[in-house]
């Protein structure tokens, strides 16, 4: 059995205004797998109200319309995680509509629901006599993820990443199914290294019996490491998450197809506030993602990966340039740093404001709009 895991998926943005969104070789590669699993990091809905709590804060509204969802189906996804900080961006009705569309298309989901019981349920995969439970959780309560609507006994929302609860869930489902894979939405955006808290939680998950950890949220690729022979992907980056139009004050905007969009200003990142419509463009490093190949062999889950990227024309392609070898080396080196016993001290120094070379490099890159990986 071969399973493809990928990073964040958002099937809208600028894609309705172009014909192609994924190259033929990437799509063919996806179709070669028995199962395809990713994180649907968007609410799905047409003409629904924005979540009012997010609208009051400095947080982006990310959604795709009903008519954009066909791309998720076309790519052949079997399971998606809904445990993220954007699936509630169209409020309760948006979450319900998202789940309804997934159910109508036979796509399993986990990580959100009408109440905490539903949100906590795993997506169960049965294939050739083996069973896999997919569990999904979202970190909350910090500035790195912003507002996350958590499910409760009588309230729709997201499955919270409470490590004590996660450990109990893993232990419970490990007794019922052959394998347990956890998909946490966690950490800080646009960081190459995971938070120390994420490393600690990942180790606790493996110790509890998880067979693999497939993390998301950073919009940057983060290292994959092995712990007790099990794979931990801290962040798989973006998979299909295109650039998007924004309208004041900042929600994603879907212009009328008859509008002339050629002169709309392009800006990198999430500018706030905006006074005129813009195209929000991902920076170079956020256009790179990982697709992981998880294979069942001799009752073990074996993992490998390759790089994809979102081209300047918003088409997902394989990242097959020579730079991929440098990236693999960097991923290996960063993974070695994460596994060291003094990682907490190291990351404090790395993130310190006194790390002058790193801060200067980032400052210059922002001023010059330099994208190291992919030119936009």
Per residue in 15-37, pLDDT (tens digit) is: 999 999 999 999 999 999 999 99
Would you call 118 helix, strand, or coil by DSSP?
helix
Q: Give the pLDDT band (50/70/90) at residue 60.
A: confident
Would you call 307 helix, strand, or coil by DSSP?
strand
For residue 314, tell me if it sits in a domain. yes
Q: Give the pLDDT band (50/70/90) at residue 376.
A: very low
Please say if the pLDDT value at position 53 is more than 90.
no
Q: Give the pLDDT band (50/70/90) at residue 364.
A: low
CB 341 within 8 A of CB 265: no
Once rounded to an integer, what is the mean pLDDT over residues 91-118?
97
Q: How many domains does the chain have?
A: 1
Q: Give the pLDDT band (50/70/90) at residue 368.
A: low
Sign of CA dihedral 188, 65, 313, 275: negative
Bigger pLDDT: 248 or 102? 102
- CATH code: domain of residue 243: 3.60.21.10
User: What is the tens place of the pLDDT at every residue in 212-259?
Assistant: 999 999 999 999 999 999 999 999 999 999 999 998 887 899 998 888
Q: What is the pTM of this model?
A: 0.92
CB 59 within 8 A of CB 147: yes
User: What is the tens place of the pLDDT at every residue in 131-181?
Assistant: 999 999 999 987 777 789 999 999 999 999 999 999 999 999 999 999 999
- Phi, psi (deg, nearest 5) at residue 316: -75, 125
pLDDT of 215 reads 97
For residue 207, tell me if it sits in a domain. yes
- Closest alpha carbon to 102 in 123, 116, 125: 123
The rounded percent of the chain whose pLDDT value lies above 90 is 69
Once rounded to an integer, what is the mean pLDDT over residues 336-343?
93
Strand 252-253 with 244-246, pairing:
antiparallel
* Angle subtended by helix axes 163-174 and 196-208, to nearest 10: 30
For residue 274, tell me if it sits in a domain. yes
- Closest alpha carbon to 14 in 87, 64, 74, 56: 64
Please say if the pLDDT value at position 58 is more than 90.
no
For residue 373, tell me if it sits in a domain. no
- Closest alpha carbon to 64 in 79, 38, 47, 43: 43
Bigger pLDDT: 73 or 358? 73
Please say if the pLDDT value at position 190 is more than 50.
yes
For residue 360, tell me if it sits in a domain. yes
Question: Which residues span the domain enclosing 138?
Answer: 2-368
Once rounded to an integer, what is the mean pLDDT over residues 65-93?
97
pLDDT of 357 reads 63
pLDDT of 361 reads 60
Bigger pLDDT: 182 or 272? 182
For residue 95, tell me if it sits in a domain. yes
For residue 374, tell me if it sits in a domain. no
Q: Return mean pLDDT, the chain.
A: 90
Q: Which range, 66-70, 262-266, 328-332, has the best average confidence (pLDDT)?
A: 66-70
> What is the rounded distance in angstroms from the CA atom of residue 300 to the CA atom of residue 175?
16
For residue 375, tell me if it sits in a domain. no
Once rounded to an integer, what is the mean pLDDT over residues 296-316?
86
């Amino acid at each position: 059995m071969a399973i493809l895991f990928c990073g964040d998926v958002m099937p809208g943005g600028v894609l309705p205004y172009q014909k192609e969104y994924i190259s033929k070789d990437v799509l063919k590669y996806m179709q070669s797998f028995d199962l395809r699993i990713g994180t649907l990091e968007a609410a799905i809905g047409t003409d629904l109200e924005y979540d009012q709590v997010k609208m009051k804060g400095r947080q982006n509204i990310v959604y795709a319309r009903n008519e954009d969802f066909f791309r998720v189906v076309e790519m052949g996804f079997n399971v998606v995680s809904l445990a993220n900080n954007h699936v509630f961006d169209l409020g309760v009705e948006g979450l319900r509509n998202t789940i309804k569309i997934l159910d109508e298309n036979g796509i399993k989901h986990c990580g959100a629901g009408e109440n905490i019981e539903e949100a906590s349920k795993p997506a169960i995969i049965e294939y050739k006599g083996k069973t896999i439970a997919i569990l999904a959780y979202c970190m909350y309560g910090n500035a790195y993820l912003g507002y996350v609507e958590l499910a409760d006994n009588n309230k729709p929302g997201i499955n919270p990443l409470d490590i004590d609860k996660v450990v109990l869930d893993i232990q419970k489902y490990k007794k019922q199914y052959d394998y347990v894979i956890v998909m946490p939405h966690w950490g800080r955006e646009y960081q190459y290294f995971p938070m120390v808290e994420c490393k600690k939680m990942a180790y606790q998950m493996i110790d509890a019996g998880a067979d693999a950890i497939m993390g998301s949220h950073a919009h940057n690729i983060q290292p994959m490491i092995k712990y007790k022979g099990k794979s931990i992907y801290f962040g798989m980056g973006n998979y299909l998450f295109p650039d998007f139009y924004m309208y004041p004050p900042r929600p994603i905007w879907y212009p009328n197809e008859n509008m002339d969009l050629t002169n709309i200003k392009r800006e990198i990142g999430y500018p706030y506030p905006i006074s005129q419509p813009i195209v929000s463009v991902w920076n170079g490093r956020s256009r790179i993602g990982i697709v992981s190949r998880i294979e069942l062999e001799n009752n073990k889950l074996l993992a490998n990966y390759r790089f994809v990227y979102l081209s300047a024309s918003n088409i997902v392609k394989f990242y097959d340039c020579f730079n991929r070898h440098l990236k693999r080396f960097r991923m290996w080196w960063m993974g070695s740093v994460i596994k060291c016993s003094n990682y907490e001290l190291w990351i404090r120094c790395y993130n310190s404001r006194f790390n002058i070379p790193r801060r200067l490099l980032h400052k210059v890159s922002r001023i010059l709009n330099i994208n190291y990986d992919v030119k936009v």
